[in-house]
Amino acid sequence: MAKQAQPSPNDEAHDADRHFMARALAIGYRHLGMTWPNPSVGAVLVRETPDGPVIISEGITARGGRPHAERVALEAAGEAARGATLYVTLEPCAHIGRDTPCANAVVASGVSRVVAGILDPDTRVAGQGFARLRDAGIAVHHGVLAEDAERLHRGHLRRVVLKRPAITLKMARTRDGFAGSGDPQKRLIITGDAANARTHLIRAHSDAILIGVSTANADDPHLGVRLPGMEHRSPVRVVFDSFLRINPDLQMVKTAVTMPTWVVTTAEADRVKEARLRDAGVDVLRVASRTDGILDPVEAMHRLAERGISVVLCEGGPTLAAAIAECDLADKIILVTGADPYGAPGLPALSPSLEHKLTHDFRLRTTEWAGRDEFSFYERVR
């Protein structure tokens, strides 16, 4: 009988490695939406004792992206880091920015082993962090809970590889499938308080929240996070407005000085209107228009990525959602179904093209309930 090949360390992680990596991932999720332009990384330092492995410190990328998670954990541990194992959700950086590389700090700390979720595709890193650790005699094991680490760092991966943010379409619909009444003067209330609170938590983990100008003018939304104690986690508010039709009296314009508000428009849009918006504190970004005169969503997303935005939550209406999906930009779809039907003809939440994409290009990952309302979370599979 042929001898079976033994799995390598990178093929199968020990239970302990999975356990502590899960902890690092959970920590990393806490600061999603707060660390752009850097990814929200989680780190856990563990050392062996006679009674088993013990966590000696933890770290998370700080607000604004500095310091990195590894440095936070290492500084908290001090000399106790020597001989310990560092669990980190993303490969330690190897390039010099405002600080020396995290890989250098890990080497200097005396850590004996590093367990990482995924490699960082940034060309300034891309395996160089792992190589530096190995050259220093540190054992490196990566690929532990890699799928979960990719999910946590989806925004960073998209921004580095595709030069755009990760984009989530979030849409609410009545039980019979409508997003609105069809009458601009009649706003349809679809979800209850519990679902609204869940939506605000999703906002808090996003770098930017996107709507179209029609939604802005019709609903006059605030778009901030209104959960107690989390107001400071409100994302950048972005409005797609090809012709600068945004009403200057909207509350998001009036509060632009205190809450970042960006309006993306075309190169041809009115310069006088732009000046008025800028005077109110709104940042106006100009991008190319398509042949129909509408701004190009692909270029718009590239511009957001250039500014450091990694995670965009699109809460616009069916038209904007369909446009994003048709440009092949959507990575996740959150479909919130209210408890009650509308019971009359209305505006469908899903366009035929978006419904086709949802069926063929996405898979349902999980379903949750918030009060009487249902959240369905879909992930792109191709």
Which positions are annotated as active-site residues?
70
Picking from 60, 64, 96, the residue whose alpha carbon sits closest to that of residue 308 is 64
Type of residue at 275: A
CA 155/CA 312 separation, integer angstroms? 8
Helices (H), strands (E): how many in the chain?
Answer: 13, 16
CA 108/CA 111 separation, integer angstroms? 8
CA distances from 246 to 109, 218, 267, 276, 351 (A): 53, 10, 16, 11, 24
Per the DSSP assignment, residues forming a β-bridge with 53 are 48
Picking from 60, 66, 25, 262, the residue whose alpha carbon sits closest to that of residue 154 is 25
CA 5/CA 152 separation, integer angstroms? 32
CA 114/CA 232 separation, integer angstroms? 34
For 244, phi and psi rounded to 5 degrees?
50, 55
- The answer to whether the beta carbons of residues 113 and 139 sit under 8 Å apart is yes
